[in-house]
Structure 1
Amino acid sequence: MAQAQKALAREVHNPAVSVDWERVAYLLHVSRQMDEVEETRLVPEKQVLYQFSARGHDLAQILLGSQLTHRHDAVCGYYRSRPALLAIGVPLEEALAGPLARDGGYSSGRDIGVVFNYPNPNGPSALPMCGGVGTQYTPSTGWAQAIEYRRTVLGETDYEGAIAVALGGDGSVASNGFWSALTIATTQKLPVLFYIEDNGFGISVRSHVQTPGGNIAANLASFGGLKILEGDGTDPEEAARLTEEAVRFVREERAPLLLRLRVPRLCGHSAQDTQGYKSEAEIAAEKARDPLPRLQNFLVPAVFTADAWDAIRQRAADDVAAALERALARPQPDPSTLTRHVFSEAASHGVQAVQTKGGLAAEGHVLPKGSATPRPSGPRINMAAAIRRTLEHELAVNPRMVLFGEDVGPKGGVHSVSQGLQARFGEARVFDTSLSEEGIIGRAVGMALAGLMPVPEIQFRKYADPAVEQLNDCGTIRWRTRNRFAAPMVVRMPGGFFKCGDPWHSQTNEVQFVHAIGWHVAVPSNAEDAVGLLRAALRGNDPVIFFEHRAMLDHGWARRPYPGDDYVLPFGKARTVREGRDITVVTWGAMVERCEQAADLAAKESGRSVEVIDLRTLSPWDSEAVLESVRRTHRCLVVHEDNGTAGFGAEILAVVGRECFLDLDAPLERLTMPDIPSPHNPILLEAAVPSPERIAARIDEMVRF
């Protein structure tokens, strides 16, 4: 097609919109060919096990992807977002190999084929998608906040003009993540485009059940700080104009915008969905809105001849067929690699295997080397002061570190741990957030993916529950993207009893995060260990739950001299608090002090020699230290504050029972809280939490067995 004819067509249709219509037409045909071959061949052959067609959504997405040209742009989509990914440059073979679950590419068969990721080094990236509805929104705002941080605080001029795009369907606007992201983007004035494809259905649920009146744009008309556009996503001219206007606004104004485009879903929710909930008239009406023939009518003959259109369609078919053959020729994934990339592999494989994108390591950011040797100086300080001093030093040496959460700013945290940090480092680096744990952790995910070291605080352990989906998804990023992405962060999480208890502020349940794939878990019992473990986490390359026990933050027993600004305590190294011959007691957190007291009681009252081991970290945990001790003492008691059933003590004793069965002189035992929430009354609390007296009595019973 002659360039003059193309230019004339653009001028006739809309002189303000610049679109490469030939590329749009080609990619639309590519997307349709991919959907068709999956639906008619690969799904029936059971070579593709999950299939989500994008027919009807495809034109609008391609127009969106074509506008994402900045190398620091990022889009986070969902299971129907393949056309947008094709438009930002995902190779055709990769787009087909993913659904086939073949080796290589963005997952290598670990995740379902429609959950994409694309760490593009020279252009816009696709952040790791998740299977959960609405999970894309808060990480997108985190990416946008990281853009602004790197642009304004770090002075990285190449981030000027970059934006984040959260791409979702109308069903997802009912999710917690959507509303949390709106709050973050508008209160912080972040460059985020909320791109909502409204097809009228969330699987089978109609839009009016998701949103009053079925129109999220109308409902948000008075939402502060949010510009709104809406229109027909099947009309090539209107969709192109609105998309270009939306992207230009977000780039230039550095502010959020919501664009709602009406599109038909010319298919079921997935290949298994028969759409029995739609009438024949509804299906016919949707088919009449198919954007493919509308694009043809728009371009032929104004831009292309009919022969040129057919040539584009044939080229797309040929390219898809060739890409499919290459994808089918790929081998199946190697089962021997299945357990790789749960965590960073620098230590376990001897060579640095750094993720392509995310965290400090991916960009070669180097922090000072630490020392495993403490150099204590000064008076004994409490754990809160020790954590604060560590955070202060690491903020000073790492300009990419940011600290945030509810009340962490001027108030200094409800436990006073972050007191004074905002005054020293400013609101851009230490800041308060809205009251949304989903938003706190989801935002941290996006920041980490964008190369920062986020340190979010969850005010109390129980309050993490609304963020569990983001926490779980974050931990699996490295594994499910096959080390293409990772989101290292340190989540500070106070919990446990303090003077009294209650079901809302005193929960521990640390085992939940040990069971969450991809998370390291630290539970320090004293100020020195807190410093070393926190610094190791802040300089590491994996996400970490850093559990701060409320009872120990200002406890006299937990006070220690500050061990130095370079003290780093490796994870997975237990400490033998007290050596003994008769029994091994394994514990962590606030129970370490009580087990020491119990050991004193057992020695005084019964002459027992008790070895007490403080694990310090639960993921990983030092099984070697425990097993070596049990082989000498021939008895093992685990004491923890968490509930007994399915608590982490069960895991420890399972390993001890397997490895030390022939060494044991008594049954393995646990002493824990009963299976109840933490009670409020101090008398009830003491009856629930293992006491030194009860621990000592159990020690005596086991030694006398």
Structure 2
Amino acid sequence: MDLAVSSPRGLGQEELNGELSPQAMIDIYRLMYMSRRIDDREILLKRQNKIFFQVSGAGHEALQVGAALALRSGYDWFLPYYRDRALCLALGISPTDMFLQAVGAATDPQSGGRQMPCHWSSKPLHIVSTSSSTATQMLHAIGCAEAGRYYSAHPEAAEKANGDYRQFAGVEFHGDEVVLACIGEGSTSEGEFWEALNTASNQKLPVIFLIEDNGYAISVPVEVNTPGGNISRLVANFPNFHFQEIDGTDAETCLRAFQNAARWCRAGNGPAFVHGHCIRPYSHSLSDDDKLYRSAAEREADAMRDPIHRMQMRLLRDKIVTTDQITELEHKWDQEVIEAADAALAAPLPQIDSISKHVYSEDLDITAPPFANENAAEAGSAPGKSKSSQGSAPKTMADLINACLHDEMRRDPRILIYGEDVADASREGVLGEAKGKGGVFKLTAGLQAEFGGERVFNSPLAEANIVGRAVGYAVRGMKPIVEIQFFDYIWPAMHQIRNELALMRWRSNGAWASPVVIRVPIGGYLTGGSIYHSQSGESIFTHIPGLRIAMPSNALDANGLLRTAIRSDDPVMFLEHKRLYRETYGRAPYPGPDFAIPFGKARTVRSGTDITLITYGAVVPRALQAAQLAERKHDISVEIIDLRTLNPYDWEAIAESVLKTSRVIVAHEDMMSWGYGAELAARIADELFEDLDAPVKRVAGMDTFVAYQPILEDVILPQPEKILQAIVDLKAW
């Protein structure tokens, strides 16, 4: 017989749907065997100190190959985790590419030497970049499936994405595509897993959840991690699901299970849940030793179920190959693995100057977007300005944020808006009778009424769900604008923001991007906002590379900066101070649908000669009051710089002002210690020391929490009187 094998991507669907031919069985065995041998070669290289980490997929091969061959590489979408070597091999990632990542080579197509081995990524194969975080990819899978459904119903949105020069590849949608989300059984205890099941079930999304259950989460056995020791029993009551629990060491059983799951999903019935019981014959990683927590008898029992051994015995038992033939094949495949490893070891290593590449977008200069024309707009002649805006009455920050959202949704059909309570009304027929909610602060009012429930909708009360799904939308070319209802409750989403959203471009070496806008009401000065509705904390997020931060102080800036955020190709956190939403201060006429303000360009709110006062957000009007009092009562001229964006910030404007005044105050609402002002003060002292006539002074909130009682809140947060005292003291220094 001919012992040639098919390509690594596997077999024709028609061959797999019927009885497996001898050739098909050989091809399946090849993928499983090579996956194991790549693991073994990596283990050898690690012991020789030629690579730096190793985590294996041993024992999972049958389960993963079955999943890959039942689906379509480059057609369906895949959210794997770090054990999914055999899956990715079967989808088309080559052995050489796997070793390039293990080596950390510059030519590693998955991350350019930035990620550990087995952190998969391939845009052509639709394998979305994987992180080390467990369960986060479950929510990306949800957004990915939602994006596919949206494109199927709205081809104009896909056309827009395909024509967007900032995208690295076209947007594919087919109408019956499936998303595969893989997770180890131990990670099913993470909240993101349950949030993903919730949304997939509720929306009947075509997502296959693959649970790879090898009985352990590192050293924690399944019965300790999971009540009853079986995740299938816990999830059995989720509606709209196809459930199947299988022996994950039998390749054909696995293939048939995933074919059933794919048929269920492609037919529009809802999601599927395939729970495969496999083994882990090796330790969790080479940093682990399972002999420390597993008995010899248990390890021997697993060895008897080894999927490689079982598949080999089947080939021999069914007389598909002889002993000599299988030995010949295995020798040939061993040589392929050795050659792939040798090629990777000879590959060039990354250059030092590549470190900062892809932290932010290189395709859109966010500091000078071509559509920005702030000065023209402020003069009342913004390009593209509608006739109705000429001489229009001043609007609040809330009004102009809402106007910007309306404008941008009309411009780009890829834009979706969702979050908690952002819709006008979720139930059909209500809007004819009721006005609609449109957010707790009414900033999304009227959007659902104009654009429909497909584009503006309510999310579950789950912040990680909101941001994680947005990552999945964004990697497929959509433009999600999500709202976290209060900054105080953003923390469940921190994992998604720090480890996924901000890192997607850098860790994939520029292959993937997540241009999500996260709108977040922030801050105090509310008279009764108390601890959980008054928090600041912007410095925590400015510490995250890859994430842009804007924080406007007035209506016009809010409109222009939000438009820049939406049109940029980076993730942006857009901080909206609640106290400023409807303040008299900072109102402005509607500037038109093309008005934008570049990031990283501060605004001089007030010119002065004696002191530079650098601030942002709700402290801007308070600083202005203090500066006016300082001039009137003390003849001190204060220049106020409103940063407007905190990452990037306008260092040139700061340096120019300090050169003029030689005295600096940095003022912000958040607490003094470890606040945003500390970084500015340190850099000014470091780089502008010779221009200073006095130490850099900071004014900020107290190192405590915001109290409910107004007389306490007034003392905790910086007030004009406190800023004035700092001005007087610094001038006298």
- 1:79 deviates by 1.5
Partner residue in 2 for 1:395: 409
Aligned residue in 1 for 2:434:
none
Contact 2:61 2:249 in 1 (8 A): no
2:505 to 449, 464, 478: 478
Partner of 1:360: none
Q: Cα RMSD (Å) of the superposition?
A: 2.3
Match of residue 331, structure 2, among 298, 311, 314: 314
Instruction: Give the match for residue 359 of structure 1.
Output: none
The residue type paired with residue 542 of structure 1 is: D
> Which residue is equivalent to 1:704?
732
For residues 338-417 of structure 1, what are the structure 2 equivalents within 5 Å?
A: 338-346=355-363, 369-372=371-374, 373-374=376-377, 375=382, 377=390, 378-410=392-424, 411-417=437-443
Higher mean C-alpha deviation, range 147-156 or range 25-34: 147-156
User: Which residue of 161, 169, 178 corresponds with 2:184?
Assistant: 169
Residue-by-residue CA offset, 1:170-201 (whole Å, 9 max, x unaligned): 00100011011011111111111100011111
The Cα offsets for residues 257-315 of structure 1, whole Å up to 9 and x where unpaired, read as 11000000111111121111100110001101100111122233536212443333222
| TM, length-normalised to structure 2 | 0.90
Secondary structure of residue in 2 paired with 1:484: coil
Q: 2:572 aligns with which of 535, 538, 544?
A: 544
In the aligned structure 1, how far is the partner of 2:177 from the partner of 2:480? 20
Indicate which of 13, 37, 42 corresponds to 2:41.
37
Q: Which amino acid letter does the alignment assign opposite residue 482 of structure 2?
A: P
Corresponding letter in the other structure for 1:289: R
Question: How many percent of aligned residue pairs carry the same amino acid?
Answer: 38
Q: Is the 8 A contact 1:236 1:298 kept in 2?
A: no
Q: Does 1:187 align with 2:202?
A: yes
> 1:601, 1:693 within 8 Å by CA — same for their partners in 2?
no
Residue identity matched to 1:464: I
SS of residue paired to 1:316: helix
Structure 2 residue runs of 5 or longer lacking an equivalent are 7-12, 159-171, 383-388, 425-436
Kept after mapping to 2: 8 A contact 1:153/1:428: no
Aligned equivalent of 2:119, options 103, 115, 118: 115
SS at the partner of 1:576? Answer: strand
Q: More deviation in 326-335 or 341-350?
A: 341-350
2:307 to 291, 312, 319: 291
Provide the rounded CA distance (Å) in 2 between the counterparts of 1:602 and 1:15: 85
Alpha-carbon separation, structure 1, partners of 2:553 and 2:665 = 18
Which is worse superposed, 305-314 or 560-569?
305-314
What are the Cα deviations for residues 437-487 of structure 1, in whole angstroms up to 9, with x where unaligned?
111000000000011001111001121100111001210111111111111
- Please tell me whether residue 58 in structure 1 is matched to residue 61 in structure 2: yes
CA contact (8 A) 1:13 1:237 kept: no
Deviations 1:362-408 (A, max 9, x none): xxxxx994533313631111111101110011001100010000100
Equivalence for 1:456: 482
Contact 1:71 1:162 in 2 (8 A): no
Does residue 1:437 correspond to 2:439, yes or no?
no
Q: Distance in 1 between matches of 2:494 and 2:326?
A: 49
Aligned residue in 2 for 1:632: 660
TM score, norm. by length of structure 1: 0.93
What residue in structure 1 maps to residue 385 of structure 2? none
1:601 is aligned with what amino acid?
L
The answer to whether 1:574 aligns with 2:602 is yes
1:324 deviates by 1.0
Matched residue type, 1:147: G
Counterparts of 2:602 and 2:118, CA distance in 1: 42
| CA drift at 1:678 | 1.7
Structure 2 Cα separation of the partners of residues 328 and 499 of structure 1? 64
1:132 matched to 2:136: no
Within-5 A mapping of 1:617-656: 617-656=645-684
Tell me if structure 2 keeps the 8 A contact 1:499–1:551.
no
- Partners of 2:644 and 2:209 lie apart in 1 by 43
**CA apart distance, 1:500:** 2.9
Q: Which moved more, 1:99-108 or 1:325-334?
A: 99-108
Would the alpha carbon gap of residues 349 and 576 (structure 1) be closer, same or farther in structure 2, given more than 3 Å must change? Answer: closer
Residue type at the aligned position of 2:478 = L
Match of 2:237, SS state, is coil
Within 5 Å, give how 1:255-294 maps onto structure 2.
255-275=270-290, 276-294=292-310
Name the aligned partner's letter for residue 70 of structure 2: Q
CA distance in 2, matches of 1:13, 1:485: 32
Q: Is the 8 A contact 1:14 1:237 kept in 2?
A: no
**Distance of 1:659 and 1:31 partners within structure 2:** 54
Answer yes or no: is the 8 Å Cα contact 1:70–1:161 preserved in 2: no
Alignment deviations for residues 88-130 of structure 1 (CA, whole Å, 9 cap, x no partner) = 101221111101111122112211122121111xxx3111111
Q: How does 1:604-615 map to 2 (within 5 A)?
A: 604-615=632-643
Q: Which residue of 2 aligns with 1:362?
A: none
| C-alpha contact 2:448 2:457 (8 A) present in aligned 1 | yes
Out of 427, 444, 457, the residue aligned to residue 418 of structure 1 is: 444
User: Which residue number in structure 2 is paired with residue 27 of structure 1?
Assistant: 31
1:97 corresponding residue in structure 2 = 100
**Alpha-carbon distance between aligned partners in 2 of 1:264 and 1:592, rounded to the nearest angstrom:** 60
Following superposition, the deviation at residue 38 of structure 1 comes to: 1.5
* Equivalent of 1:213 in 228, 233, 239: 228
The structural deviation recorded for 1:254 is 5.1
How far off is 1:414 after superposition? 0.5
CA contact (8 A) 2:671 2:704 kept: yes
Letter in 1 for 2:588: R
Q: Distance in 1 between matches of 2:265 and 2:418?
A: 25
Q: Offset of 1:159 from its aligned partner?
A: 2.2
Aligned-partner SS, 1:516: coil
Is this contact kept in 2: 1:671–1:690, CA < 8 A? yes
Q: Give the whole-Å Cα distance in 1 for the aligned partners of 2:51 and 2:674.
A: 37
User: Letter of the aligned partner of 1:250 in structure 2?
Assistant: C
Distance 1:499 1:286 in 2: 63
Residue ranges of structure 1 left out of the alignment (5+ in a row)? 353-366
Question: Following TM superposition, by how much is the alpha carbon of 1:70 offset from its aligned partner in structure 2, in angstroms?
Answer: 5.4
Equivalent pair of 1:456/1:491 in contact (CA under 8 Å): yes
The amino acid that maps onto 1:633 is T
Partners of 2:193 and 2:617 lie apart in 1 by 36
1: CA distance, partners of 2:283 / 2:670: 45
Name the amino acid aligned to 1:526. Answer: N
Number of positions where the alignment pairs a residue of Structure 1 with one of Structure 2:
683
In the TM superposition, what whole-angstrom CA distance separates every residue of 1:130-177 from its partner, at most 9, and x where no partner exists? 111111100011100001011113376942111111101100100011
State the partner residue of 2:77: 74
Q: Deviations over 1:563-594 (max 9, x none)?
A: 11110100000000000000000000000000
